[in-house]
């Protein structure tokens, strides 16, 4: 009898799980709350087990070819001078910049492209209820559909609603005391194929990273205790960063100006979920 799996979440983890489950003979359904596949996002570096998985899936060469082109990391002072440098070639890919630097959306799209022919991907739906009887999970979706699965695998992020359904009151986050805004800004002729990192006073940092799409990925981060900023609307989040980074120095004015018109603004308070079981 073939086991039927339901995977929730169609990003990197969910699509990877679907690929491998199908590889081992399982029937797989992947449900994703978004109405379509979501690309976008910032840099991720792939090392160790992740790199090995891509190699075993036959995707390593494609991932390397889709890399951002980042050649290393430099730290900048307030005058724009380089005070430290770590180049990838010199460190054999084990420095801050890995040999495989790729945008989150590009990596997710690569894996999704490989998995979608092996699994049934359903976008624009999510789980509203799960019941189990020891033999199977009975799932009700927000679309009204009801189905039975042998196993449900939750491949969602720190704000997973499905995990709350199965393990209520056990998903308290561990706050990492870092508030970050990410977005894409126009590239200039002065930009280099390097991760440029500037640390300002008051726990603030500004970073600029190249991509393979002709733009720059910017991040503004502040080391501070969380105060619910992740729940603010976008306008308030942008005002917060504008006020906090107005006097930060280096490229902060350029980044703040571009932030006002960017179409991929993402803001969050860094956290992890450590469940008791």
- What does the pLDDT look like over 23-70, one tens digit per residue? 999 999 999 999 999 988 899 999 999 999 999 999 999 999 999 999
Q: What pLDDT score does 269 carry?
A: 95
Q: How many Cα atoms sit within 13 Å of 232 on the Cβ side?
A: 18
Residue 134 has a pLDDT of: 84
Which residues does 46 contact at the CB level (< 8 Å), separation at least 6? 54, 63, 98, 100, 102, 107
Q: Provide the CATH topology of domain 4-57+104-166.
A: FAD/NAD(P)-binding domain (3.50.50)
Would you place residue 275 in the very low, low, confident or very high pLDDT band (cuts 50, 70, 90)?
Answer: confident
Of 23-32, 44-53, 89-98, 259-268, the least confident:
89-98
Please tell me the pTM assigned to this model: 0.91
Q: How is residue 159 written in tokens? A: 């704000």
Distance CA 265, CA 261 (A): 9
Nearest alpha carbon to residue 155 among 117, 114, 182, 121 = 121
- Report the range of poorest mean pLDDT among 10-14, 61-65, 92-96, 166-170: 92-96
Beta 27-32 vs 4-8: how paired, if at all?
parallel
Mean pLDDT of 84-112: 92
End-to-end CA distance of the chain: 30
* Class for the domain spanning 173-273: alpha beta
The backbone torsions φ and ψ at residue 108, rounded to the nearest 5 degrees and listed phi first, read -60, -40
Helix (H, G, I), strand (E, B) or coil at 53: helix
Coil/strand/helix, residue 139: strand
Concatenated DSSP letters of 75-121: EE-TTS-EEEEEETTTTTTBSSSBS-EEEHHHHHHHHHHHHTTTSEE
Enumerate the domain spans of the chain: 4-57+104-166, 173-273
Structural contact between residues 163 and 196, judged by C-beta atoms closer than 8 angstroms: no
**Residue predicted with more confidence, 55 or 157:** 55
pLDDT at site 40:
85
pLDDT in tens, 175-206: 999 999 999 999 999 999 999 999 999 999 99
Give the Å distances, CA to CA, from 174 to 1, 72, 169: 41, 31, 14
At 94, the pLDDT band (50, 70, 90 cuts) reads confident
User: What is the pLDDT confidence band of residue 1, given thresholds at 50, 70 and 90?
Assistant: low
Mean pLDDT of the chain: 94
pLDDT recorded at residue 160: 87
| 117 pLDDT above the threshold of 80 | yes
């Amino acid at each position: 009898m073939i086991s039927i799996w339901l995977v929730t979440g169609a990003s990197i983890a969910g699509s990877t799980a679907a690929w491998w489950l199908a590889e081992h003979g399982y029937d797989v359904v992947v449900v994703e709350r978004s109405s379509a596949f979501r690309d976008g996002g910032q840099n991720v570096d792939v090392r160790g087990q992740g790199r090995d998985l891509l190699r075993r899936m036959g995707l390593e060469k494609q991932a390397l070819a889709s890399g951002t082109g980042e050649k290393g990391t430099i730290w900048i002072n307030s005058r724009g001078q380089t005070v430290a440098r770590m180049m990838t070639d010199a460190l054999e890919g084990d420095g801050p910049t890995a040999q495989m630097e790729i945008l989150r959306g590009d990596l997710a799209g690569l894996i999704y492209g490989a998995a979608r022919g092996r699994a049934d991907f359903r976008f624009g739906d999510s789980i509203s209820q799960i019941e189990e009887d020891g033999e199977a999970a009975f799932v009700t979706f927000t679309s009204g559909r009801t189905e039975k699965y042998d196993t449900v695998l939750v491949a969602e992020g720190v704000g997973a609603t499905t995990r709350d359904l199965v393990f209520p009151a056990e998903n308290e986050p561990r706050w990492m005391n870092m508030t970050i805004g990410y977005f894409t800004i126009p590239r200039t002729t002065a930009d280099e194929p390097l991760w440029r990192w500037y640390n300002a006073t008051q726990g603030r940092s500004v970073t600029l990273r190249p991509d393979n799409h002709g733009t720059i990925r910017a991040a503004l981060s502040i080391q501070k205790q969380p105060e619910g900023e992740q729940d603010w609307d976008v306008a308030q989040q942008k005002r917060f960063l504008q006020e906090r980074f107005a006097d930060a120095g280096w490229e902060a004015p350029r980044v703040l100006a571009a932030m006002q018109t960017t179409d991929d603004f993402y803001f969050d308070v860094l956290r992890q979920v450590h469940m008791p079981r």
